[in-house]
Amino acid sequence: MGLDAETLEPILPDAVTRAAASLLETAQAAGFSIATAESCTGGLLASLLTDIEGASDTFERGFVAYSKQAKCDLLGLSHAVIDNCGAVSEPVARAMAQGALARSNASLAVAITGFAGPAGPSDEPGLVHFACAAHGIATRHRVEHFGDIGRGPTRIACLRVALEMLGDMLAAAKRRPRAA
pLDDT, average across residues 91-116: 97
- 82, part of any domain: yes
Predicted local confidence at residue 16, as pLDDT: 95
Radius of gyration from C-alpha coordinates of the chain: 15
Which among 152, 139, 38, 29 is positioned nearest to 88, based on CA atoms? 38
Q: Percent helix, strand, coil in the chain (nearest 5)? A: 45, 20, 35
Assigned domain for 145 exists:
yes
Q: Which domain holds residue 59?
A: 14-175
For residue 60, pLDDT beyond 50? yes
Percentage of the chain lying above the pLDDT 70 cut: 92
Output the CA–CA distances (angstroms, integers) from residue 139 to 55, 68, 112, 142, 160, in the order listed.
Answer: 24, 21, 13, 10, 19
Question: Domain total for the chain?
Answer: 1
Instruction: Confirm if 106 and 170 have CB atoms less than 8 A apart.
Output: no
* Confidence (pLDDT) at 8: 60
Q: Which residues contact 163 (CB under 8 A, 6 or more apart)?
A: 16, 19, 20, 23, 45
pLDDT of residue 1: 47
Residue 5 pLDDT > 80 = no
Element at 85 (helix H, strand E): helix 79-85
C-beta separation of 136 from 101 below 8 A = no
What's the rounded mean pLDDT across residues 40-51? 96
* Mean pLDDT (whole number) for 132-156: 96
Task: Please report whether residue 180 resides in a domain.
Answer: no
Q: Note whether residue 8 is domain-resident.
A: no
The CATH number that applies at residue 124 is: 3.90.950.20
Nearest to 172 by CA among 130, 139, 128, 141: 139
pTM score, two decimals?
A: 0.92
Count of residues making up the chain = 180
> What is the average pLDDT score of the chain?
92
CB 146 within 8 A of CB 124: no
CA distance 61 to 35: 5
Within-domain flag for 51:
yes
Res. 179: pLDDT tops 70: no
Q: What is the pLDDT of residue 140?
A: 98
DSSP H or E run through 35: strand 34-38
